[in-house]
Chain A
Amino acid sequence: MTTSAPPRHARDPELAVATTALRKTYRTRKGRRVAVEGLDLRVPRGGVHGFLGPNGSGKTTTIRMLLGLIRPDSGTMTLFGEPVPARLPAVVDRVGAIVEQPKFFPAFTARRNLELLAGAIGAPASRVGQVLEEVGLGERGRDRFRSYSLGMKQRLAIAGTLLKDPELLIFDEPTNGLDPAGIHEIRQTMRGLADAGRTVLVSSHILNEVQQVADTVTIIGRGRLLAEGDVEAILARGGAEAARVRVPDPAAAAEVLVAAGLAPQPGPPGTVLVRARPGTGPLNGALITRVLAERGIYLAELVWQRPDLEEVFLDLTATEHLGAGAPHAAPPPPLPPAAAPRRSGGDR
């Protein structure tokens, strides 16, 4: 493990989490397997930060290294500008984390599990009841942990993190195994925590779920950084928005739209997919409607299509799935061209 001091940017007080050139390998029967390869992660303070990547891309390993559960081979990490794991004890009270599934003693009640944690960190016993109420488990606090549903276990784990009143919450795949209501609940909880001024780092491979709550994201693949930044900026890398126009004669409509300076493409049967030409500004729905109507072509439907995080993610990580046998030293895949065909789209 490296002993070098974190670089200046990693000590940026505006960053809740920063890693530089983080690397972790595991020994396997076939030699060493790279889990995290030179990862630079920057999580700004405040808001929800999505930490995205396919299964096995190194998200959980990175989180475990940040929390001191496993040791990196090299690289530096900071939490609130403090190098970890060396200074982890100094900042651990500011960090709450749920790594993978909630892990408590199954035979103990929820309350007893939290009492033990509260006792260990010196939190007042009264705080246990408060956090159970906060996550809606006040009336089930005396039930054994093993009797809880997965959603309740997640809520109990969140209650556990709140014992410390942390500034940074790290949730690792928090919605795994939850039903839609549970997913919605966790999403609301994360948003609420961020709105209350906390920083939430959430790892997930379910992109649409994260897109709905994240302010910023980091996308990794094979343990390496693929993209990072504001969600809007990341989405912009996925290409321009489009409008799907349903008309009686798509070919005639396409000619009209080309003449109007737009860039139509064949869409699903009976439709044309319309985009603005590069450099001509945002797509104008009124223009589409007007030019078609002027030629006697009346719309049956106009649906806005916008690239979502899942598409960007799939493009960025395509080689992760296709190139399973590729060496880890290969460079990260290039970003897709803006005009690449979309796999799916969200209506608006």
Chain B
Amino acid sequence: MTRSGGFLRLVAAELGRLRSRRLTLAAALLVLAAVGLFQIAVADEVSPPSPADVTEQRQFYEQAHQEWEQSHAAQEKDCQDSGQAPADCVWPEPTPADYALTATPFADIAPAGVQLSAYVALLAAFGVGASFIGAEYSTGSLANWLTFVPQRLKVYGSKAVAVALASAVGGAVASFLMLGLVALLTRLNGGGLTGLGDAAATAGRAVPIAVLAGVAGFVFALLTRHTVAALGIALGYVVASAVLSTIASNADGPLGWLPPWLPENNVAAFLEHGTTYQQYVQTVTAQGTSGDSVEKHISFGHSAAYWAVLLVVAVVSAALVFRRRDVT
């Protein structure tokens, strides 16, 4: 006689199904391809310049300096004659340092790479999470599964945990593989690894972001019963956010309060351990109206709390729906 319902056994079965899915394989390949392709750019950035490149840059410098010598006095005079302040009309003299080729430091390129891999993993996890439950609804196999394991919350929990674990693994592999390869290429080209700790911390924060994305895809598809509907929600948001961001860019506008609550800003704040955004602020004086761009900050703590609350609300809401929903 069998015994249904062992939670860990269910999680193992769900992980087995995830592993067998072609979409999981496709998502993994997508992430690896993104990481691999980025290394082509990294190899170019971290390698020292070739003699030919140095010669070419020297020629560029000489051309620029020659042009400056011939024209800067006349240009500056024209500028001042047009009413501009002298300080605003200075054409600085080109220097050899302006045209020197140097390898991009690890501290600059590693965070960019890790963030790229984090966003690719985010997309992949969302798709995998959505199709994982969406396929069960579309094939009807969820009903079949429930005739074997009727405990709804256990079934829900096992699927959600499997998606979360797979997303975590995917996010970790993507981020740390990216970091490792960038570090390796930097070292092979004689560069230092200054900033490795910060980059590793960013890679670590990419893991919960991937988990959030996977669970979000899972919850959307569970609530809508369709993979495509979940993807539609995500795409719809991408379109809507472009409009919302534009409106919200005016601090005095009706949506001026919105930027700290936009998901994309909170992803960035979590990933980058705090982020900034620009808003336009109008100032009305006796002389008229003037506008300035103001930089505002979203803290890591704000984004962490934001995602924690959203995660709990989404997971609990979906569980309550799934517990009572008719499955046909």
To the question of whether A and B form a pair in one complex, the answer is yes
Q: Which residues of A contact B (CB under 8 A)?
A: 64, 67-71, 85, 88-89, 92-93, 95-97, 99-108, 112, 115-117, 119-123, 157, 160, 163-165
Please determine whether A165 and B1 come into contact, CB atoms closer than 8 angstroms. Answer: yes
| In the complex, B319 has a CB within 8 A of chain A | no
Contact of B149 among A69, A92, A97, A105 (CB under 8 A): A92
> Once bound together, how far apart are the Cα atoms of A23 and B9, in whole Å?
35
Please determine whether A68 and B150 come into contact, CB atoms closer than 8 angstroms. Answer: yes
> Once bound together, how far apart are the Cα atoms of A120 and B1, in whole Å?
13
> Once bound together, how far apart are the Cα atoms of A154 and B190, in whole Å?
65
* Residues of A contacting B143 in the complex (Cβ-Cβ under 8 angstroms): 64, 69, 99, 103
| In the complex, B30 has a CB within 8 A of chain A | no
- Stretch in B10-18, B52-60, B65-73, B112-120 touching the partner: B10-18
B155 CB to nearest A CB, Å: 9
Please determine whether B20 and A108 come into contact, CB atoms closer than 8 angstroms. Answer: yes
Please determine whether B1 and A93 come into contact, CB atoms closer than 8 angstroms. Answer: yes
> Once bound together, how far apart are the Cα atoms of A3 and B255, in whole Å?
49
Please determine whether A120 and B147 come into contact, CB atoms closer than 8 angstroms. Answer: no
Q: Which residues of B contact A (CB under 8 A)?
A: 1-6, 9-10, 12-13, 16-17, 20-22, 135, 139-141, 143-151, 324, 326-328
> Once bound together, how far apart are the Cα atoms of A100 and B1, in whole Å?
26
Can you report 14 A-B residue pairs in the complex whose CB atoms are below 8 A from each other?
A67-B147, A68-B146, A69-B146, A69-B326, A70-B327, A89-B5, A92-B4, A93-B3, A97-B147, A107-B22, A108-B20, A117-B148, A119-B12, A164-B148
* Residues of B contacting A165 in the complex (Cβ-Cβ under 8 angstroms): 1-2
Please determine whether B144 and A67 come into contact, CB atoms closer than 8 angstroms. Answer: no
> Once bound together, how far apart are the Cα atoms of A214 and B27, in whole Å?
50
Please determine whether A120 and B4 come into contact, CB atoms closer than 8 angstroms. Answer: yes
Most buried by B among A71, A103, A112: A103
Known: A116-B17, A165-B1. A71 touches B324 (CB 8 A): yes
Please determine whether B13 and A104 come into contact, CB atoms closer than 8 angstroms. Answer: no
Which residue in chain A gives the minimum CB-CB distance to B324? A71
A330 CB to nearest B CB, Å: 27
> Once bound together, how far apart are the Cα atoms of A88 and B147, in whole Å?
10
> Once bound together, how far apart are the Cα atoms of A68 and B17, in whole Å?
23
B225 CB to nearest A CB, Å: 14
